[in-house]
A and B are shown apart, each in its own frame.
Chain A
Amino acid sequence: MISLAYTPAWFNGKDIIIDLFSILILGLISFYGFMYYRLNRRNKNYIFLAAAFLLMALSFIFKILINFTIYYHVIETKNIGLFTLTYHTVQVSHILFIIGFLLYRVLMLLGLFTLYAIYARPKLATMILMVFLLLVTTYLTTSSYYVFHFTSFLFLLILALHYWKTYRRGRYYSNKLLAWSFGLITLSQIFFVFITLENWFYVGGEFIQLLGYLMLLITFIKVLKDGKKARKK
């Protein structure tokens, strides 16, 4: 049996497809990152980029898992006077939901932080501190839902601005596409913050996320095509 959270009835399952699409794009970029690292092991940024996208892809897998609830059968007994009654009941396990949500948030934030660290180049001590703070804020704060989406929003905004600045410096079209895709994914985080007010925000957030990842796919295809074009020149 499937139980879905946040989604309006007509959107049930469609968000899973959007998340699966996001996993595919993230996985693809991660795979190519690993492959290019094997070609040029001197540039460690490839492996960090691959790890960052892999962490984000894994986080979406856990996001999908939290849509599923485990139902299990229990045999219970009750004593009523002289009689002992034995019967089957169905109970809901929330363990998958709790672990799934926690891993979804932790992996996503670690992924975004890894990507951020490629460009910001923080010192080791700063990195350890940041990871500690990310874990603490994800797990211990009472409003962890808002903290998670706001932190993701900040990381994504910094990354989108970084890609935009890179585009302004070199006027390289792929940088512009990348900045736009990260900009859209950043925007989706704002929608997710307001889910508790109205579940339409979830639909809006998911569609913007889909557009963001679609643009990321277009960017990636352009990278591969430009590589081929260069050969023909």
Chain B
Amino acid sequence: MGKKRERSDIVLDMLVAIQEKGGMIKPTHLMYKANLAHQQMKTYLDDLISKEFIKKMKKRNYDYLIITDKGSRFVEKMRQMKEFEKTFGL
């Protein structure tokens, strides 16, 4: 069985999933891509929106989630943190 993901890993997976879709994704697609349950996804989404890492948008009657600049910078910082962790063996 794989190691349980930490909160920071889940947040990173969600933001990366949006980036990989060109910065815009449908909520259901994000749920599958980030491998989350519905309730779990809602909790994380509220948190990410309140932190202004992502924002909601409506396009042709569909809801979309967009990663903000702040969110992109956060992804970069998190990736650097992972590299730092790997290098120093933390």
Interfacial residues, chain A to chain B (CB-CB below 8 A): 32-33, 36, 39-40, 42-43, 45-46, 49, 118-119, 162-163, 166, 170, 172, 174-175, 178, 219, 223-224, 226-228, 230-231
Query: In the complex, A42→B85 CA distance in Å?
Result: 13
Contact between A223 and B75, CB atoms less than 8 A apart: no
Contact between B76 and A227, CB atoms less than 8 A apart: yes
Contacts of A36 in B (CB 8 A): 81, 84-85
Contact between A231 and B75, CB atoms less than 8 A apart: yes
Contact of A223 among B7, B19, B83, B89 (CB under 8 A): B83
Contact of A39 among B19, B78, B89 (CB under 8 A): B78
Contacts of A226 in B (CB 8 A): 79-80, 83
Known A175-B86, A178-B87, A223-B84; further 18 A-B contacts with Cβ < 8 A: A33-B84, A36-B81, A36-B85, A40-B81, A43-B85, A46-B85, A46-B90, A172-B86, A172-B87, A219-B87, A223-B80, A224-B80, A226-B79, A226-B80, A227-B79, A227-B81, A230-B79, A230-B83
The 7 closest A-B pairs by CB, nearest first: A227-B80, A45-B90, A174-B87, A227-B79, A36-B81, A223-B83, A230-B79
Interface centre among A118, A172, A227 (most CB of B within 10 A): A227
* Minimum Cβ distance to chain A for residue B29 (Å): 20
Contacts of B56 in A (CB 8 A): none
* Minimum Cβ distance to chain B for residue A213 (Å): 16
Can you name 27 A-B pairs with beta carbons within 8 Å?
A36-B84, A36-B85, A40-B81, A42-B6, A42-B7, A49-B90, A118-B90, A119-B89, A166-B89, A170-B86, A174-B83, A174-B87, A178-B88, A219-B87, A223-B80, A223-B87, A224-B80, A224-B83, A226-B79, A226-B80, A226-B83, A227-B76, A227-B84, A228-B76, A230-B79, A231-B19, A231-B79
Contact between A39 and B77, CB atoms less than 8 A apart: yes
Contacts of A174 in B (CB 8 A): 83, 86-87
Contact between B81 and A39, CB atoms less than 8 A apart: yes
Contact between A231 and B90, CB atoms less than 8 A apart: no
Contact between B79 and A49, CB atoms less than 8 A apart: no
Contacts of B77 in A (CB 8 A): 39, 227
Contacts of A119 in B (CB 8 A): 89
Contacts of B50 in A (CB 8 A): none
Contact between A227 and B89, CB atoms less than 8 A apart: no
- B77 to A, closest residue via Cβ: A39
Query: In the complex, A43→B8 CA distance in Å?
Result: 11
Question: Does any Cβ of A come within 8 Å of B82's Cβ?
Answer: yes
- A162 to B, closest residue via Cβ: B89
Contacts of B82 in A (CB 8 A): 227
Query: In the complex, A170→B85 CA distance in Å?
Result: 14
Query: In the complex, A226→B72 CA distance in Å?
Result: 15
